[in-house]
Amino acid sequence: MIQDVRLEQLTEWINTLADWQGAQLAPASADASFRRYFRVTHHQQTAIAMDAPPDKENCTPFLDITDRLHHAGVAAPVIYAKNLLDGFLLLEDFGNTLLLNELSPSNADTLYETAMDTLLHLQQAEIQGLPEYSHAFLRRELDLMPEWFLQQHLNFTAEDIPYKLIDHTFNNLITAVLEQPIAFVHRDYHSRNLMLAAEQKLGVIDYQDAVWGPITYDLVSLLRDCYVVWPQQRVKRWALAYHKEAIAAGVLPPIDEISFLRWFDLMGLQRHLKVLGIFARLNHRDGKASYLKDLPLTLSYILTIGSQHPETCRLVEWMRQAHIPERIGTVDIPA
């Protein structure tokens, strides 16, 4: 049996805390980083322990952004205790109910309305001192696609990859994306990072990589989620409902619907192109093969939405000619 030294250290630390002596730990979840989470149980109370190895993860941004979100009225977990030297945090437990697992055609309108209302509060959090979602930042993300998805995952040679077309597409896409107003950006605001907690509270997690940048980023992460798909007309209706509320809240300046939906589409294309690279990297570098099953939906968004815009239609055409959909599969996106 392999000894889990960090779990032993985490358990020892929790048992030094008042009210948690004798607590039991059980795995709660892991994510795409090096962080792990354990549910801590003591008598009738529970909490979540975060294990973030200091040589691989920095807890300070998580603490900083938690405070910003609380001030904005967002339900981020309360931090009960911290041990930054060892990379341990003890957090409020939002339970086990992911938004993803509760969504259905009959309740999606209500749940997405709540998620978009929460997003409007989140977008008004303080951004001073956060990293900028700059041209260079967006480009670094996009470059993961040819490196990890085309080369490492699909075994394309350098000669087979149309780098000139990719460069042209990426630059045009980023230029279009940066036309948008800016706001606080969670960067992973989707159904696996929203928790349906007690008393109808929508808990927000996994926000430590927050930046300030294009206002539609979190909205498209939510509505064109890599883990669940909805009919295009329903997504459009939700996006325009947000558009109306965001203008009323002063989060978004008055902008016509057509321009807003273009921003929404192009931001989603930037996100989904980079996610192809991220999911491939998680498999080939980090040994997390489970993300490969989400590649077909991610690619389907690119093929469907990308074919509608001049910034991306030529890249989509190349993807089809290179038989990428046949190589990894796609799913149908209902109209």
Give the start-to-end residue ranges of the domains of the chain.
5-91, 99-328
- To the nearest 10°, report the CA torsion of 169, 172, 175, 176: -100
Q: Which of 62, 52, 63, 48 is nearest to 87 (CA)?
A: 52
- Say whether pLDDT at 32 is over 60: no
Instruction: Give the helix ranges, DSSP H, for the chain.
Output: 5-14, 60-71, 99-102, 108-122, 135-142, 144, 163-177, 217-223, 232-249, 257-284, 295-306, 313-321, 324-328
Q: Is domain 99-328 in CATH 3.90.1200.10, yes or no? A: yes
pTM score:
0.93
Q: Give the model's confidence band at 198: pLDDT under 50 very low, under 70 low, under 90 confident, else very high.
A: confident
Integer Cα distance of 50 and 207 in angstroms: 14
Q: What is the mean pLDDT of the chain?
A: 94
Summarised one tens digit per residue, pLDDT across range 281-334 is: 999 999 989 999 999 999 999 999 999 999 999 999 999 999 999 999 898 899
Residue 172, pLDDT score: 96
Give the right CATH number for 5-91 from 3.40.1180.10, 1.10.10.10, 3.30.200.20, 3.40.50.2300: 3.30.200.20
